[in-house]
Amino acid sequence: MATLADSFVAPAAEIAAAFGTLDADELVFVLQQCLEAGAWDHALALTDALEGVEQTPGIRLCRAVATFLSGDTAGGLSAVDEVLAGGARPLPALSVRAEMLLRLGQREAARESLLELVGRYPDYPRAQGLLATLYMPGPHYREVLARLHQLLRPKTYLEIGVDTGATLALAQQSELAVGVDPVNALRVRLPPNARFFEEASDEFFAQRGRDAVFGPRRVALAFIDGLHRFENALSDFANVESWSDPAGTIVLHDCVPILARAAARERSTKFWVGDTWKIVPALRAYRPELKLTTVLAPPSGLVVVRRLNPGSRVLSERRDEILQRFLSLPFERAPGDFAPELNAVQNDDSGLAQALGG
Ligand SMILES: C[S@@+](CC[C@H](N)C(=O)[O-])C[C@H]1O[C@@H](n2cnc3c(N)ncnc32)[C@H](O)[C@@H]1O
């Protein structure tokens, strides 16, 4: 058993005297507090001292986690399996099992538990995020964006969909970074070169000219991460490209959903990317000269678009036709079955080099 650096657990009699009147629900609460505090030794001591309390699945799971954290990983995992063997296969046990298996490097088994978990309740905390990291290993999309800033050193940056400002703040080296979002939810300190427009992107492009925002410069790097609807992604792309440098780069977020439910037009889960993904087949069909490469960065990929043509009017002129053709497209891919049109590359520097090369 592993030992904590500053390990001390009160004698069993003292624990029993202090906690002996707790019912099972209250005991689970205390056990969770112990685990959150990293005090797995105290959690084990509590369950030892209060053996008389009914051993509910919640108590057994807390004990299993404490056992696992103590270093007895096989014991912890088999205790979870015993809870699952009870018949009802409780969701928390599936979640705990998946997290233990991930820590043990057993990715395939972890994936099975997570798929069962999201199949029964797609919003289970952390489940979709963890699943995404299994299908798309490597750095989180914000780290990949940070790397793109390092590699490209764009003088001008435009972001559609800013939220807290976490990605706009990555444009530290740019001379001018512009963010557009109808909601001001900024929490991250922005660099002095940043300007924020509290506007919906359609309104922003309709009311403002490039000269007024960027002066004589064109956009060197753009990140489109606004409203998760195909039609918005399409107009955002067309507008952003018209302001872009032909040698520039546009990055699209949320085009690689793992679950069909998250890829639906109508939102029915917390983790939701909407039908933004339809922009990839649409661009392939209507703008074959663009170079599209998808870096499989969790949780929902980054499509890197190069060989831009700011003079192209195809997407705006044929918008109705494009919407009619792609709006009703169903998402029929199984998790991890990445569409060939994504031109998926690994989520590392070699993948980024492929995306940015040529
Ligand atoms: C996923 S968040 C952006 C996250 C941010 N880029 C990041 O990575 O941290 C999506 C944002 O799009 C914004 N949004 C919604 N509708 C929009 C629109 N029509 N134009 C621009 N942004 C929009 C939302 O207010 C929300 O802040």
pLDDT at 148: 98
Beta bridge partner(s), residue 224: 160, 252
| Contacts with 229 (C-beta within 8 Å, 6 or more apart), sequence order | 265, 274, 275, 276
Q: How far is the CA of 165 from the centre of ligand 1 (A)?
A: 10
Is the C-beta atom of 252 inside 6 A of ligand 1?
no
Tally helices (H) and strands (E) across the chain: 16, 8
d(CA 29, CA 64): 15
pLDDT at 17: 93
**Nearest atom in ligand 1 to 142's CA:** 8
pLDDT at 50 over 90: no
> Do residues 96 and 80 lie in contact, with contact meaning Cβ atoms separated by under 8 Å?
yes
Q: How far is the CA of 179 from the centre of ligand 1 (A)?
A: 10
**Nearest atom in ligand 1 to 223's CA:** 6
Tokens standing for 23? 């019912």
pLDDT at 53 over 90: no
d(CA 248, CA 267): 33
pLDDT in tens, 258-268: 999 999 999 99
SS3 196: strand
> Which residue, by CA, sits nearest to atom 25 of ligand 1?
183
pLDDT band at 4 (very low <50, low <70, confident <90, very high): low
pLDDT at 115 over 70: yes
d(CA 24, CA 42): 17
Which long-range contacts does 330-334 make (Cβ < 8 Å, 24+ apart)?
Answer: 331/257, 331/260, 331/263, 331/264, 331/275, 331/277, 332/260, 333/260
Q: How far is the CA of 202 from the centre of ligand 1 (A)?
A: 13
Closest listed residue to residue 60, CA positions, set 36, 76, 41, 72: 76
Beta bridge partner(s), residue 252: 224, 303
Chain centre distance of CA 292: 21
d(CA 40, CA 4): 9
| pLDDT, mean of residues 15-38 | 94
pLDDT at 52: 83
pLDDT at 1 over 80: no
302-306 vs 291-295, strand pairing mode: antiparallel
Domains of the chain: residue spans and CATH = 12-121 (1.25.40.10), 141-356 (3.40.50.150)
> Do residues 327 and 320 lie in contact, with contact meaning Cβ atoms separated by under 8 Å?
no
d(CA 253, CA 167): 12
Is the C-beta atom of 182 inside 6 A of ligand 1?
yes
Mean pLDDT of all residues in the chain?
A: 95
pLDDT at 5 over 70: no
- Torsion angle of alpha carbons 127, 131, 136, 140, nearest 10°? 10
Beta bridge partner(s), residue 344: 294
d(CA 142, CA 130): 16
pLDDT in tens, 183-212: 999 999 999 999 999 999 999 999 999 999
pLDDT in tens, 57-72: 999 999 999 999 999 9
Chain centre distance of CA 214: 31
- Ligand 1: which of 159, 225, 228, 252 to mutate, judged by most atoms within 8 Å of the beta carbon? 225
pLDDT at 159: 98
pLDDT in tens, 290-333: 999 999 999 999 999 999 999 999 999 999 999 999 999 999 99
Cis ω on the peptide bond leading into residue 298 (within 30° of 0)? no
d(CA 311, CA 155): 21
